[in-house]
Structure 1
Amino acid sequence: MHLTLQQLRLFEAVARHRSFTRAAEELHLTQPAVSIQIRRLEENAGTPLIEHLGKRFFLTPAGEAMYATACDVLTRLRSLDDELDELADTLRGPLRLAVATTAKYFTPHLLGRFVADHPAVVPRLVVTNRARLIQRLGENLDDFVIMGQVPDDLPLVAHPIIENRLVVVAHPHHPGADQAGLALPDLAGERWLMREPGSGTRTSFERELAGQGLTIEPYMELGSTEAIKQAVMAGLGLSVLPMHSIELELAAHRLVILDIAGFPLCRRWNAVHLQGKTLSRAARSFLQFLKETAEAPSGTIPAALHPLPA
């Protein structure tokens, strides 16, 4: 057969996702381009690899064999790539990362500093929600992922890195903006804006509420930190957000942090990967860089990661 590595990569992604659309998104191609390559692969194989039943598709026996081979070939190629990187004098090669949506506010800055020192490293960054991060972890798609709450139903290794401080934010004209020593129970009747259920930030806040015997019915549920910031700036309510996500809005006096007992909630971002995974040299170096950054004096890390003033 005269198949290509690109065809194997495409078929592996299609078979893994059971979706042409998601495979195209992962590989930054159009769905028609993926479909054309899969048809050519089937022509080269001389037999159907996929069968369509209604809106779903399944691998044929030949497709299952092709998928196993594609996985084996791509795994061996990644291993070869890692071995060549280990032998090289210069740190180089791909660095495959996936991060939670709220980690997008600091990860690119840290990547930029790392790549400035190691220009032969090629970062590949995926920003996605928690559910997709967990799925990517299970499928071993990345060197590691950066997330807050680490799932306990997968065999994982978590490396604590940057501190994640959660604060209560409000419109600058909120009555509590100039008050000190507020208590969370006093604000339970406010309109609260929250992320979707399962979000790490929301989970941490709900645990704090439960610890104080409180429950809050969200006034609005929004699917991104950016949407919540806009809603708070519009005076629609209060919210709990990571400190590093609101640096610009604080500087522009578009948001204020309320002084509430028990806040900020101090959590950690974690670099997470499957147990037994062998990290590439680039991944090991970046992980060490993240740990050193977390331990560095405040003047050497991005402003949004500085400790809160006393």
Structure 2
Amino acid sequence: MRHATFRQLKVFESVARHLSFSRAAEELHLTQPAVSIQVAKLQEHAGLPLFEQMGKRIHLTAAGAEMLRASRNILDQFREVEETLAQFKGVSGGRLNVAVISAGDYFLPRLLVEFAGRHSGVSINFDVCNRRDLLAKLAENQTDLAVMARPPVDADTLNEPFAPHPYVIVAAPAHPLAGKRRIPLARVVREPFVTREKGSDTWTSMQEAFGPRLQELNVAMEIRSTETIKQAVIAGMGLGFLSAHTISRELRAGSIAVLDVQGLPLVGNWYVVHRSGKHLPPVAQAFKSFLLADGERLVTEALEAPPPRRRRSR
């Protein structure tokens, strides 16, 4: 194992955590063949298979489980060294590690540019992922800060709101309900809907917005991609329930319409989240303070056509 590299260990840990070469490639911004090559090289160094194929799924071998334990120890030690060195650098020259759920990808880059402009020399490691992967990154100390709409309630984290997060029902501009006023929710649920998958933050917000009427919802299609949902709505395939922060470009272009539904928009919050026992590096603490002080203004500016705030989520 003396010739194994840090890169190989990092790639292997990602594959082992996801039990998927494709998801590891997506997380690490590599091609799947590149991931496979790095794992194959590590297996050569180990002299033992680290994964085994059972049906369509891969599983860790006993040797792979031991390699995973050792890899995480090594990666944690490197992170500790990075954090210690960051203390000497302070904010300027520090490295900010932040991850966000997919809806936040529509505004967080703008905030990161603003923050970096205030602190010269800051480097940024920015990752966009779904809720499950984001919570895993927090639990495994792979990110300093997480930006999310619904922080975990059963984890040892500090969760602080910094900006409102409205959800709306959208339609194609030619839809019969577009332009109508005070549409009853009972009328809306009869329309076909294109929705995010169950378990996503958006689906959970739908449960809150629709209440018992969610059982009446006419789900025409379930899609994991917000961008694909928008295109389906624009094409007239159904209504959508989306974060208002994801549709500002379409609203400006007039290609999508927000329906005036009674009781909506549902307004929750964006949260900055980190492990409660984590000692944040100066640059992460500075970015957290930046979000708490200026995040609401900057996020609101990113939403170019914000709907009126009528009801806050519980």
Same fold (TM over 0.5): yes
Instruction: Tell me how far apart the structure 1 counterparts of residues 13 and 213 of structure 2 sit (CA, whole Å).
Output: 49
Structure 1 residue 158, shift from structure 2 partner: 1.7
Amino acid across the alignment from 2:157: L
Amino acid at match of 1:273: H
Query: Percent of counterpart pairs with the same letter?
Result: 38
Kept after mapping to 1: 8 A contact 2:102/2:130: yes
Which residue of 2 is the match for residue 58 of structure 1? 60
Contact kept? 2:158, 2:276, Cα under 8 Å: yes
User: Do the aligned partners of residues 25 and 170 (structure 1) sit closer, same or farther apart at CA in structure 2, a change above 3 Å counting?
Assistant: closer
SS for the counterpart of 1:123 is: strand
Aligned to 2:216: 215
Partners of 1:59 and 1:292 in 2: CA distance: 49
Is residue 209–residue 215 contact of structure 1 (8 Å, CA) maintained in 2? no
Amino acid at match of 2:143: D
Deviation at 1:166, TM superposition (A): 0.8
| Bigger mean CA offset, 114-123 vs 26-35 | 26-35
| 1:116 match | 117
Provide the secondary structure at the position in 1 that maps to 2:150: coil
Q: CA shift at 1:268, angstroms?
A: 0.8
- Report the Cα distance in structure 2 between the residues aligned to 1:242 and 1:41, rounded to whole angstroms: 42
Matched, 1:77 2:47: no
SS across alignment from 2:192: coil
Find the counterpart in structure 2 of residue 128 from structure 1. 129
SS in 2 for 1:263: coil
The aligned amino acid for 1:203 is T
Whether the aligned pair in 2 keeps the contact of 1:232 and 1:239 (CA below 8 Å) is yes
TM-superposed deviation, 1:220: 2.0
SS at match of 2:219: coil
Query: What does residue range 67-106 of structure 1 map to in structure 2 within 5 Å?
Result: 67-106=68-107
Measure how far apart 1:81 and its partner are: 1.6
CA distance in 2, matches of 1:81, 1:262: 48
Q: Which amino acid is the alignment partner of residue 73 of structure 2?
A: D
Tell me which amino acid in the other structure corresponds to 2:114: R
In the alignment, is residue 183 of structure 1 matched against residue 216 of structure 2?
no
SS at match of 1:150: coil
Query: CA, structure 1 residues 242+118, in 2 after alignment: closer, same or farther (shift >3 Å)?
Result: same
How far apart are residue 265 of structure 1 and its match?
Answer: 0.4
* Equivalent pair of 1:81/1:93 in contact (CA under 8 Å): no
CA shift for structure 1 position 218: 0.9
The Cα shift of 1:190 comes to 1.6
The alpha carbon displacement at 1:38 in A equals: 4.7
Q: Deviations over 1:249-275 (max 9, x none)?
A: 111111222222211100112222333
Residue 164 (structure 1) shift: 0.8
Distance 2:206 2:54 in 1: 43
Task: Give the unaligned 5+ runs of structure 1.
Answer: none
- How far apart are the structure 1 equivalents of 2:103 and 2:51? 39
Structure with greater Cα Rg: 1
Segment drifting more, 26-35 vs 89-98: 26-35
What stretches of structure 1 move > 6 A for 4+ residues in a row?
none
CA displacement at 1:35 relative to structure 2: 4.8
- Distance of aligned partners of 1:259 and 1:28 in 2 relative to their CA distance in 1, 3 Å threshold: closer
Provide the residue aligned with 1:302 in structure 2. Answer: 301
Q: CA-atom RMSD, angstroms?
A: 3.0
Amino acid at match of 1:147: M
Aligned to 1:279, what secondary structure does the other structure show? coil
- CA distance in structure 2 between the partners assigned to 1:44 and 1:219 by the alignment: 50
Deviation at 1:169, TM superposition (A): 1.5
1-side partners of 2:210 and 2:60: how far apart? Answer: 46
Amino acid at match of 2:259: L
Cα deviation per residue 1:255-305 (whole Å; 9 max; x = unaligned)?
222222211100112222333222222222212111122344x7x953407
Q: CA deviation at 1:185?
A: 1.5
Report if the CA contact (8 A) 1:91-1:281 is conserved: no
In the TM superposition, 1:1-310 aligns within 5 A as 1-38=2-39, 40-41=41-42, 47-48=47-48, 50=50, 52=52, 56-60=58-62, 66-210=67-211, 215-296=216-297, 302-304=301-303, 308-309=307-308
What is the TM-score with the length of structure 2 in the denominator? 0.83
In the alignment, what sits opposite 2:312?
none
Give the Cα separation in 2 of the matches to 1:307 and 1:53: 49
Gaps in structure 2 of 5+ consecutive residues: 310-314
Shift of 1:231: 1.7
Q: Tell me by how many angstroms 1:112 deviates.
A: 1.6
Shift of 1:66: 4.7
Offset of residue 39 of structure 1: 5.2
SS of aligned partner of 2:179: coil
Relative to structure 1, the CA distance from residue 178 to residue 21 in structure 2 (aligned partners, 3 Å threshold; closer, same or farther) is: closer
